[in-house]
Amino acid sequence: MIALGAIVAAGLVTALSVRDAVALDLVFTLLLYAVLGQSWNWISGYAGNISFGHAIFFGCGAYASALMVTHGLSPWLAIPAGAVAAAALAIVTGFPTLALRGHYFSIATIAVAAIVDALVRTQPWLGRATGFELPIASGWAALQFADKGPYIVLALVLFTAVQIATIALERSRLGYYLRALRANHAAAAAVGIDERSWKLLAFAWSAVIASCAGVLYAQYTLFVDPPSTIALGVSIDIALIGVVGGIGTLWGPAVGALVYVVLAKGVALELGGTGKGYDLVIYGAIICVIAALRPHGIVGAIVDGLRRRRGALELGAASATGGAA
Amino acid sequence: MTAAAVPLLEVRGLVKRFGALRALDGVDLDVAAGTLTGLIGPNGAGKTTAFACIAGAERPTAGSIRFRAAEIAGMPASRVTRAGIGRTYQIVQTFADMTVLEATTTGALLHHPRLNEAVARAEEVLEFVGLADKRQRLGRALTIADKKRLEVARALATEPDLLLLDEVMAGLTPAECGAAVELLRRTLARGITILMVEHVMEVLMPIADHIVVIAAGKTLFRGSAAEAVRDAAVVEAYLGAPPAGDGAEAGR
Amino acid sequence: MEALTTFAQLLVGGVLTGLVFALVAVGLTLVYGVMDVVNFAHGEFLMLAMYATLGLALLGLGPLLGLPLAVIAMFLFGIIVYRVFVRRLLAGPPEATVFGTFGLLVLMQGLAQAVFSSDFLSVPSPPFAGTIRFAGLAVSQASVVEGCGALILTALLFAFVEYTETGRAMRAVAEDRIAATLMGIDVQRINGLAFGIGAACVGAAGGLLMLSYPVYPTAGVPFALTAFVVVALGGFGSISGALVAALLVGMLEVFGGFYLSPELKLVPVYLAYLVVVLVRPQGLLGRR
């Protein structure tokens, strides 16, 4: 909670004082990715169903925004509309696939996302492959601003809400049940947990969060097309952010987004643009090192360290034999 | 008093096939409310399979399983638990990255959806099973005896009417067995009915009200522990088996 | 009559496409079978092999002459990647292998982009540029060479795993790692070898594909995506399953591209995957 307060304060100061467009763009991207990473973390981190298709829910929000605005409706309506679409898509696709385990689920999410991507590219009402350019407007009613400051504030509101929701998740029946299902589905069934219904609930909420981020993204870039919203590359970015920071942890996605945006994008900008692949090299190397040396992610490694200090593991003679069995 | 005439759990003609293999070939058993029933039989007799069918982990090929007179055969495990049957596993199944308290709380959430109530309930259960001082340990860092105790705690936290225990004594030292028996007696005193698979006969005979012996997937004998020891068929099929077989099943 | 010719044309195209998919997929399924790792960088291994083949071609070694060299180079590359990297991932939680190999994917794509830029590069004047015509069908020579080469190499790999001592050791490790260790099999060596052979398979596939495809940093992605589906369809770890599934996927893709639309050509492939994993989770020929 203290950390959250500090971030909100720092974000507000940034929004009000910084005028450098590139820096503000990085801050916005950071917050957006932290939200998307947390959304992914609900189903893939806490529940353990690793998704490589999460961008389709982000796309629900972005496309809802594009459709509302291009049809002359308020972009605010895109928030509930995108949420309903995302939740429905999560339930329809999750119902058959969430019971699949390990790689089968992960590849199923790639398959579902690829089908959605291909279908969007053939639908005239969804702008086919070229997508939508949103007409320029200004003000809170149009959810568009000439200045980047209000976008940072909105991103900060969304980020704070999602972090608080995640704290609530960790302290709820749903949170406990997801962790139990991830740890051992047979033992989870033995305490009365119905895998499908609880995972569907988490998947739907996770999709709603991603959709909210999608609305904000569309209103910020004013451009929505398949490669920037629903493509496999976006899904992979989201998943890798979740894992770099540490899956199934409250602050993992935020730390992952920080690593991604500051280290990869930021350093690549300094080295002369992202078009040359330097960002991928740096980011790929970071992921490789973390996966090989700190496979529980950055936050996961810190949590393990704290636990060890508190003695929860207490690797004495007695517990060592238990751990070996 | 008519309710007492109907057993809490009534299994009739239970059959389970895995391909060509008939693991269960007509098992009958009754468990009367408030009693401890021991399920015994030689290695490979189908005890664990019978448990899996009752608990909903396996779908029986044929036969009926009635719990409080309601048919539960073929129900998924989570619904069987919600109907009031808790279980432990022969090979301990922990929630590896949860603490003892968190794992027990997960069980308690079944009937106490609010977390603070569930935690309070879990604390009581941990006190009851004697794990309260280890509540902040991780499940994976416990000894075998404590892991088994945690499984019992997790099952008790779901507030079952019937507890299925699959070899909770296997791999325990005599002192740990003694503590476990004492825990079973206190569990019975709370009005919870127990059906247990057990290999350590000396432990089971004094505490079991009823014994069911299965061999080759069929019920061979039903009766009291004293009758079981006297029954020639039981002695031949099971008690006469070389003691070397005892430990082997635990590793299966 | 014309519809029949079209159908036959598509059938031949589907089979030839499927055979190349098979060669890419068998490497993936072998690695999965032996060490339970889905190498998400498999497509990037293919991309590297394609660049290597291009480099050898520019040095005067045509795609087919360069092929054995590409195979050997990728085999060594695979072993090094296993020794330096994948071995460490295996010590971590199951997610570590997923994300580690994904990291490798990102790193290799980034390096390719930094070194070779995003341009599409092709072998100048490749051999087998002609077209074979018979019975009203037209097939490019290159795709016939690719398909036949892929079939021969897949058969060789199958024979290796089934009939050699090392292949038997691999199957033993795939069956039960602990038992294999007890039998005196060096699991680390077998894992490394399997990873090397998996990379060698895409080495060969890359050599063949450069006959007709351009290479660019993300050239491996479409092949890898198809390979994941093929491997899952055929049953993770099953080489014969991968061959059957690859032919099926090749057909679905070619027929889907023709009868639906080119943009939707992968939709039937992914739908087939979803239907199969939901109805028969162990894959077409996989064991439970």
- At residue B26, the 3 state secondary structure works out as strand
Q: Say whether pLDDT at C180 is over 90.
A: no
Q: How far apart are CA A33 and CA C107, in angstroms?
A: 20
Identify the residue among B51, B95, B162 best suited for mutation to test binding to A, counting A beta carbons within 10 A and taking the highest. Answer: B95
Q: What is the CATH number of domain B2-251?
A: 3.40.50.300
Nearest to A215, CA basis, from A74, A116, A109, A88 = A74
Structure tokens at C271: 């739908």
Q: How far apart are CA A290 and CA A296, in angstroms?
A: 8
For the residues C82-106, what does the mean pLDDT come to?
A: 89
Question: Can you tell me which residue has the tokens 């994917």?
Answer: C105
- At residue A275, the 3 state secondary structure works out as coil
State residue A141's pLDDT score. Answer: 87
Alpha-helical segments (H) within chain C? 2-35, 42-58, 63-81, 87-90, 94-116, 141-163, 165-175, 177-182, 187-209, 220-234, 239-259, 267-279
For the residues A100-115, what does the mean pLDDT come to?
A: 88
Across the interface, do A277 and C114 touch by the CB < 8 Å criterion? yes
Q: How far apart are CA B51 and CA B66, in angstroms?
A: 14
> Is the model more confident about B32 or about B202?
B32
Q: How far apart are CA A109 and CA A115, in angstroms?
A: 10
DSSP A223: E
Structure tokens at B224: 């009291």
C-beta neighbour count of C155 within 10 angstroms: 12
Average pLDDT value for chain B: 87
Which tens digits make up the pLDDT trace of C66-93? 889 999 999 999 999 999 999 999 988 8
Cα of C71 vs its chain's centroid, Å:
13
State residue A222's pLDDT score. Answer: 94
Q: Which chains touch A (3 or more CB pairs under 8 A)?
A: B, C
- At residue A276, the 3 state secondary structure works out as coil
Q: Say whether pLDDT at B252 is over 50.
A: no
Across the interface, do B113 and A173 touch by the CB < 8 Å criterion? yes
For the residues B85-108, what does the mean pLDDT come to?
A: 92
Angle at C122 between CA C217 and CA C253, to 5 degrees: 70
Highest mean pLDDT among A246-250, C17-21, C192-196: C192-196
For the residues B47-70, what does the mean pLDDT come to?
A: 93
Q: Say whether pLDDT at B250 is over 60.
A: no
Across the interface, do C217 and A243 touch by the CB < 8 Å criterion? no
Across the interface, do C270 and A96 touch by the CB < 8 Å criterion? no
Q: How far apart are CA C11 and CA C136, in angstroms?
A: 13
Identify the residue among C274, C279, C288 best suited for mutation to test binding to A, counting A beta carbons within 10 A and taking the highest. Answer: C274
State residue C287's pLDDT score. Answer: 54
Residues C221, C112: contact at Cβ < 8 Å?
no
Q: What sign does the CA torsion over B184, B187, B191, B193 have? A: negative
The confidence band for A116, taking pLDDT boundaries of 50, 70 and 90, is very high
- At residue C27, the 3 state secondary structure works out as helix
Q: Where are the domains of chain C?
A: 12-113+128-279
Structure tokens at A162: 């999602």
Lowest-confidence segment of A62-76, A158-172, B86-100, C173-187 by average pLDDT: C173-187
- The greatest distance separating any two alpha carbons of chain A, rounded to the nearest whole angstrom, comes to 70
Chain A residue closest to C269 (CA)? A111
Measured in angstroms, the CA of C140 and the nearest CA of chain A are apart by 28
What is the second-level CATH architecture of the domain C12-113+128-279?
Orthogonal Bundle (1.10)
Identify the residue among C87, C95, C230 best suited for mutation to test binding to A, counting A beta carbons within 10 A and taking the highest. Answer: C95
Q: Cβ contacts (< 8 Å) between C89 and chain A: which residues?
A: 291-292, 295
Lowest-confidence segment of A7-21, A27-41, B86-100, C267-281 by average pLDDT: A7-21
Measured in angstroms, the CA of B228 and the nearest CA of chain A are apart by 31
Measured in angstroms, the CA of A247 and the nearest CA of chain C are apart by 9
Angle at A226 between CA A222 and CA A228, to 5 degrees: 55
Q: Say whether pLDDT at A112 is over 70.
A: yes
Q: How far apart are CA B185 and CA A93, in angstroms?
A: 49
Q: What is the ipTM of this complex?
A: 0.88
For the residues A19-36, what does the mean pLDDT come to?
A: 90
Question: Can you tell me which residue has the tokens 């949590």?
Answer: A303
Q: Say whether pLDDT at B247 is over 70.
A: no
Q: How far apart are CA A117 and CA A101, in angstroms?
A: 24
Residues A199, A94: contact at Cβ < 8 Å?
yes
Cα of C225 vs its chain's centroid, Å:
10
Q: What sign does the CA torsion over B240, B245, B246, B250 have? A: negative
Across the interface, do C99 and A240 touch by the CB < 8 Å criterion? yes
Q: Say whether pLDDT at A316 is over 80.
A: no
Q: Say whether pLDDT at A201 is over 90.
A: yes
For the residues B142-169, what does the mean pLDDT come to?
A: 93
Across the interface, do C271 and A115 touch by the CB < 8 Å criterion? yes
Strand spans (E) along A87-198: 132-133
Inform me whether the C-beta atom of residue A322 falls under 8 Å from chain B C-beta atoms. yes
For the residues A115-134, what does the mean pLDDT come to?
A: 91
State residue C286's pLDDT score. Answer: 61
Q: Where are the domains of chain B?
A: 2-251
What is the helix (H) or strand (E) element at residue B15, kind and residue range?
strand B9-18
Structure tokens at A45: 């981190």
State residue C1's pLDDT score. Answer: 63
Residues C201, C39: contact at Cβ < 8 Å?
no
Chain B residue closest to A170 (CA)? B115
The confidence band for A311, taking pLDDT boundaries of 50, 70 and 90, is low
